[in-house]
Amino acid sequence: MTGPDLELPELTPERQDDIEAALFADIRAEVSRSTKQSQRRRRRAWGYTGAAAAVILVAGFVGPALSGTGASSSAGGSVELYDEGAGGAMAPEANGDLGGDGGGVAEENGSTAATGREVVATSSTVLEAADPASAVGEIGDRADAAGGYVESMNVSAAPPAESSGDVATSFGDGTWITVRVPADTLSDFLADLDDVGEVRSSEISREDVTAQSTDLRARISALQTSVDRLESLISDAATTEDLLTAEEALSQRQAELDSLRAQSDALADDVALSSATITVTEPGEVVAADPQGFGDGFATGWNALVATVNGIVLGLGFLLPWLVVAGIVLAIVQVVRRARRRARVRNGSPEA
């Protein structure tokens, strides 16, 4: 059959419609596939952007929390702060069941001996008074009346304490007094300072020295037994050499015993008499804290921006190890999913 004799099948309108429908179906499938890929890329981009924004937001909250400072207390002890808004009640700051108010603290003072615990209490107070010298004298008189004494004091002219809002700042030099009062009256003594002036801040710290005191008593008892034995040996010494040796050992033991007894007596005195240091200042002018003018507003805004950036950087540093671990887990999941997808495609393809 030659070329001129070749006859093509007749192209009917129905056949043309089928070819056009198949062509347009292929075009639509290609467009749909391209659109889905574009949407998938956009969703992935939005997901990454949202994750980055979430990380920055979390870092902004975590950073200030990590850089914030809190009140701390001495090892083995507790700290109580004077709450001026609660009418002079002593609010516990850390460690120990100190009660919720000044009455709870007083109960602890009175129950120390009953529980067998030996606690050394010290306090630090800032007091505002129009006449600091007169206030110091009255505080000393109150300490004497409570059964204590004035340990040290200093009265000198000093500039008034600077204050901002309700917080006063005291200086190292100026008028202050340190008194010793019976431990069971310390809370009442501090509460009564409101009659002398305005208490700006007050803090009580307590240290449990029961173990230290018990150890000292045990060592004293052991050394006393050794001293008694050496004295017996001296009285029974048969030779001069034995006598000199026993006396030398007795001298060493007696010196150690006297030193331990002095430490024990000093510790017992600290337990029985609490130390209270009161710094007395004159009322100061309250410094306005609000920014005034464009310059102050700009400086305040700049400082806030720097603080926020520092908090975000600190938060990112905190979150970085978690993000690395999360990225590794996500990469492993993606690899497994792709491997499974390839396996399904391979199993579903026809064999050659």
Check whether residue 147 and residue 275 sit in a common domain: yes
Check whether residue 170 and residue 277 sit in a common domain: yes
* CB 202, CB 125: distance < 8 Å: yes
Range of the domain at 220: 214-262
- 15-70 pLDDT, tens digit per residue, is 777 777 887 788 878 887 778 888 878 877 787 787 777 777 766 666 666 555 43
**Cα(198)–Cα(278) distance, integer angstroms:** 12
The two tokens of residue 189 are 């003594």
Going by their DSSP bridges, the two strands 273-281 and 119-128 should be labelled as parallel
**In degrees to the nearest 10, what's the CA dihedral of 306, 311, 317, 323?**
-120
Q: Specify the number of domains making up the chain.
A: 2
* CB 158, CB 250: distance < 8 Å: no
**Cα(188)–Cα(179) distance, integer angstroms:** 14
Of 75, 108, 110, 80, the residue nearest 94 (C-alpha): 80
Check whether residue 175 and residue 237 sit in a common domain: no
The reported pLDDT for the residue numbered 64 is: 61
Quick check: is 34 in a domain? Answer: no
The reported pLDDT for the residue numbered 70 is: 39
Check whether residue 117 and residue 249 sit in a common domain: no
Quick check: is 230 in a domain? Answer: yes
Question: Running along the chain, 352 residues long, what does each successive block of 10 average in pLDDT?
Answer: 60 76 80 80 78 72 56 40 41 38 40 68 91 91 91 73 42 77 91 90 91 91 90 83 85 91 92 92 63 74 84 81 87 89 74 41
Check whether residue 254 and residue 124 sit in a common domain: no
* CB 280, CB 179: distance < 8 Å: no
Q: Is the pTM of this model over 0.85?
A: no
Last residue of a domain, one of 227, 262, 297: 262
Burial of 94 (0-12, 13-18, 19+ CB in 10 A): middle
Check whether residue 127 and residue 274 sit in a common domain: yes
- 89-101 pLDDT, tens digit per residue, is 343 343 334 333 4
In the block, which residue shows the tokens 């990590």? Answer: 66
Quick check: is 306 in a domain? Answer: no
Residue 261: its H or E element: helix 240-272
Quick check: is 308 in a domain? Answer: no
Strand runs (DSSP E) across the chain, as ranges?
77-83, 89-94, 119-128, 149-154, 162-164, 167-169, 175-182, 198-208, 273-281
Check whether residue 274 and residue 171 sit in a common domain: yes
Check whether residue 200 and residue 222 sit in a common domain: no
The reported pLDDT for the residue numbered 273 is: 92
In the block, which residue shows the tokens 């309250």? Answer: 286
The reported pLDDT for the residue numbered 162 is: 46
Quick check: is 22 in a domain? Answer: no
Check whether residue 198 and residue 235 sit in a common domain: no
Check whether residue 179 and residue 125 sit in a common domain: yes
Quick check: is 304 in a domain? Answer: no
The two tokens of residue 170 are 């005291």
The reported pLDDT for the residue numbered 161 is: 46
Check whether residue 221 and residue 173 sit in a common domain: no
Check whether residue 91 and residue 225 sit in a common domain: no
The reported pLDDT for the residue numbered 115 is: 62
Residues with Cβ < 8 Å from 181, sequence gap 6 or more? 143, 146, 147, 148, 189, 273, 274, 276
The reported pLDDT for the residue numbered 4 is: 57
The reported pLDDT for the residue numbered 177 is: 93
**Cα(24)–Cα(239) distance, integer angstroms:** 128
CA atoms within 13 A on the CB side of 49: 6
* CB 106, CB 256: distance < 8 Å: no
